[in-house]
Structure 1
Amino acid sequence: MKDIPVHQLEKRGSIGMEIWRYQAGEIQNDTLDEEIMKAHRDDHYIFFIVEAGDTALMIDFNEIKFSPHTLYYILPGQVHHGLSDERAAGWFMAVDTMLIPPDYRKVFEGQLALQKPYLLDDGQMKQCMGLLDLLLQRFLEHEKSTFNVSIVHSLLQSFIGIAAGCYAEINDIDVRVSRPVELSRMFKQLLVDNYVAIKSPSVYAGMLNVSERYLNEVLKKATGFSVSYWILNEIMLEAKRLLYYSECNVKEVAHALGYDDHAYFSRLFKKAEGITPLTFRVTYRK
């Protein structure tokens, strides 16, 4: 069966990151450009800033449009692909998760809904451009000096800190968060790691040492939806990824998601999405 491709950062470099700048209509690397336009996952973070022009990506079945001065990031595991061969001018950066401090990861990974683009003001844009210019220069020279890798990583930390600060601001996230907000984040991480094996709200509540009722109250306040909703949402999202981007049949998709009874899975999918898994595949592959 054909799986969704996973792009691995270690195959493209040895210092845990890469960075490049592109101009509107310019193809930096034919092979890389072709890979980006096809649906895939990454085992690392992607950050980018659009300097000029407009572009769009499909990220987990959501079309995200970007205008000038837009900052955005893609999490490891999110399926995405380009919607146009003509890209805007801007910056692209791939970053190993281990290079992103825990407090910053809390901001990036703490949202249950898909992250939104962030519009940089003129001052923020100027700061980012100066920092990225220096980061690119040092990245291209990292083999010339014993200390250059450390310098590259320090500059990278500065940029990621700016990005985390932007997203913490628009999502009203304080890294010294209240217990309810922290609980929502912890649930999200547990869910991403365990949804195939664990589908019971009470089990997640137990893992978090709270009651199921309290966890529901916290999530409804933070997101508007219950624990059960987010569990099913994560399952259906991965199901749609597999149905659209892979060649797995429905039985294989069901088993990959932890369901031994593929007929039950099909009924669950239809109830959640309004169509059968096969109809979804046919409809979205047109």
Structure 2
Amino acid sequence: MAKRRASIPVNPMANQFGAGIAIEKLLVEKLLPKEKEEAGRPHREDGHSFFLLEKGKVSIEIDFEKYNIKPSSLLYLHPNQVHRITAFENVTVCVWSIRNEHLQPEYLKILEELTPTSPLLLKKDAVSLLSDAVSLGMRLFDRKEDKLYHAAIKDSCNALVALAISQFLGHTTSTQKLSRFETVAKSFRNLLERNYTTDKRPAVYAKKLNISIPYLNECVRHATGFSVSHHIQQRVILEAKRLLSHSDQAIKEIAAELGYDDYPYFSRLFTKVVGKTPVAFRNKNLD
């Protein structure tokens, strides 16, 4: 049994070249034992990370969901998401990763709204375009003596992000204008992602959006099928599951980190939503 850590490990992929940006193509027949052990440990990435699988077999677990990824698939991982690789064989994969400070603000906003996404199977022309863009980005990475070196690799990686976003939007978003209900629900979800550890009451989000609590609930329920309180609980519980499974923090510490000074209340809420106590969930999901 692998030893858990005090906090969830973060893989510095985007900073591997010291720039907060990475663009590369990997050809790996089989992971070495040490590489396999590291990839199999649950971890986060330090940037917004994209993987274009051109060849081979990859199985991955992302926030307790398991995926078997096929060639010509595009995978996006948000820095918050915890994942681990369970199978990796005869792989050719294009990779690009970028930290928040280098990412175009409008792209960051869209990515926050897209998360979470499932692996997306691409058409041949889309794969070719992304692969060519990765090759160009890799060439730019080698030109360290250029006067505008960092600007060039930053723009190159942002271009790759834009191409990837376009693929996801083409499969997940209607070309029609969002309804008022959908617009409000999207704004609520954006606020929730930034404030779920501090703001647990629907009234807080309604006030931030300058609308009434009943109207916020109406919009969110119409757009998603669930209430505002449900979304707040689910976001908190997801983070609790991550920390219970992949960190060594005491349950009381996790409760406090998530904004619950009343540990018994947190324990009752977790048990109600998950169907197991925090202790039982941790014991079943030890890494």
What TM-score does the superposition give when structure 1 sets the normalisation length?
0.89
Q: Aligned AA for 1:202?
A: A
Q: Is the 8 A contact 2:59 2:88 kept in 1?
A: no
Structure 1: 4+ residue segments shifted above 6 A: 29-33
Q: Which runs of 5+ in 2 are unaligned?
A: none
The residue that corresponds to 1:218 in the other structure is 219
- Give 2:117's match in structure 1, choosing from 91, 109, 115: 115
Q: Is the 8 A contact 1:106 1:185 kept in 2?
A: no
Change (3 A) 1:143 1:176: farther
The residue that corresponds to 1:276 in the other structure is 277
- Give 2:27's match in structure 1, choosing from 15, 19, 23: 23
Change (3 A) 1:126 1:10: closer
The residue that corresponds to 2:209 in the other structure is 208
Change (3 A) 1:190 1:129: same
The residue that corresponds to 1:93 in the other structure is 96
Q: Is the 8 A contact 2:14 2:47 kept in 1?
A: no
Q: Which has the higher strand share?
A: 2
Q: Superposition RMSD on alpha carbons, in Å?
A: 2.5
The residue that corresponds to 2:138 in the other structure is 136
Q: Is the 8 A contact 2:181 2:219 kept in 1?
A: yes
The residue that corresponds to 2:266 in the other structure is 265
Deviation digits for residues 248-276 of structure 1, max 9, x if unmatched?
22222211211122112111111101111
Change (3 A) 1:262 1:175: farther
Q: Is the partner of 1:83 in helix, strand or coil? A: strand
The residue that corresponds to 1:165 in the other structure is 166
Cα distance between partner residues in 2 of 1:244 and 1:175? 40
Q: Which runs of 5+ in 1 are unaligned?
A: none
Deviation digits for residues 157-209 of structure 1, max 9, x if unmatched?
22111111111111115697554434333222221221111100111111111
| 1:145-164 → structure 2 map (5 Å cutoff) | 145-164=146-165
Q: Is the partner of 1:133 in helix, strand or coil? A: helix
Q: Aligned AA for 1:138?
A: L
> How much has 1:100 moved relative to structure 2?
2.5
Cα distance between partner residues in 2 of 1:258 and 1:104? 29
Cα distance between partner residues in 1 of 2:56 and 2:67? 14
Cα distance between partner residues in 1 of 2:234 and 2:83? 18
Q: Is the partner of 1:110 in helix, strand or coil? A: helix
Q: Is the 8 A contact 2:30 2:88 kept in 1?
A: no
Q: Is the partner of 1:105 in helix, strand or coil? A: helix
Cα distance between partner residues in 2 of 1:107 and 1:207? 20
| 1:49-60 → structure 2 map (5 Å cutoff) | 49-60=52-63
More displaced 10-residue stretch of structure 1: 208-217 or 71-80: 208-217
Deviation digits for residues 134-164 of structure 1, max 9, x if unmatched?
111211x131321333332232222111111
Cα distance between partner residues in 2 of 1:84 and 1:178? 42
Q: Aligned AA for 2:24?
A: W
> How much has 1:7 moved relative to structure 2?
3.2
| 1:189-200 → structure 2 map (5 Å cutoff) | 189-200=190-201
Change (3 A) 1:58 1:152: same
Deviation digits for residues 114-151 of structure 1, max 9, x if unmatched?
31111110111111111111111211x13132133333
Matched residues, number: 283
Q: Is the partner of 1:265 in helix, strand or coil? A: helix
Cα distance between partner residues in 1 of 2:176 and 2:246? 36
Deviation digits for residues 75-114 of structure 1, max 9, x if unmatched?
11111111125363211222112333233223321146x3
Q: Aligned AA for 1:115?
A: T
Q: Is the 8 A contact 2:57 2:89 kept in 1?
A: no
Cα distance between partner residues in 2 of 1:10 and 1:30? 23
What TM-score does the superposition give when structure 2 sets the normalisation length?
0.89
> How much has 1:15 moved relative to structure 2?
2.7
Change (3 A) 1:87 1:234: farther
Q: Is the 8 A contact 1:106 1:175 kept in 2?
A: no
Cα distance between partner residues in 1 of 2:113 and 2:158? 19
Q: Which has the higher contact order (CA 8 A, sep 6+)?
A: 2
Q: Is the partner of 2:158 in helix, strand or coil? A: helix
